[in-house]
């Protein structure tokens, strides 16, 4: 149980286009999901906390107009990278907290490459 999926697993796009990444909790409902960014050989950097039915909470230094987060249901959160540029190329990972437990489950990640 407690499986989190992401789609797509990798995406290549042209500079200036927008890319949407989906994060789904497959067998539980998650009121809170998290989006991380990971640069090569580095740890995870929390970008934002996604709350179902309300606005996301962004970490300092993360542009909310650049990285749009929508958590429309208890099993789905989406991250849209708007007007992507090569510097946005990275590995994006989502996680979901199992309600009632102090534990998070991570998706397999999405590799974004912006040409």
Distance from C-alpha of 5 to C-alpha of 26, rounded to nearest angstrom = 7
Q: Output phi, psi for 44, to 5 deg.
A: -80, 140
The two beta strands, 110-114 and 10-13, are parallel
In the complex, the smallest distance separating the C-beta of residue 43 from other proteins, rounded to whole angstroms, is 5
Using CB under 8 A as the criterion, which residues of the chain lie in contact with other proteins when the complex forms?
6, 32, 34, 41-44, 46, 49, 93, 95, 97, 102-109, 111
**Shortest reach from residue 61's CB to other proteins, in Å:** 16
Alpha-carbon distance of 29 to 32, in angstroms, equals 9
Q: How far is CA 15 from CA 67, 69, 81, 89, in A?
A: 15, 20, 11, 10
CB of residue 83 vs other proteins: minimum separation in angstroms?
A: 26
- In the complex with other proteins, which residue's Cβ is closer, 33 or 114? 33
Decide whether 30 or 81 has the Cβ nearer to other proteins: 30
- Looking at beta carbons only, is 109 or 114 nearer to other proteins? 109
């Amino acid at each position: 149980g407690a499986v989190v999926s992401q789609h797509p697993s990798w995406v290549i796009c042209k500079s200036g286009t927008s890319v949407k990444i989906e994060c789904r909790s497959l067998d539980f409902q998650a009121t809170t999901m998290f989006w991380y960014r990971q640069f090569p050989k580095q740890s995870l950097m929390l970008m934002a906390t996604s709350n179902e039915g309300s606005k996301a909470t962004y970490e300092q230094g993360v542009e909310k107009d650049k990285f749009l987060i929508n958590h429309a249901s208890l099993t789905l959160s989406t991250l849209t990278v708007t007007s992507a540029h090569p510097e946005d190329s990275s590995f994006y990972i989502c996680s979901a907290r199992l309600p009632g437990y102090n534990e998070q489950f991570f998706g397999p990640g999405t590799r974004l490459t912006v040409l």
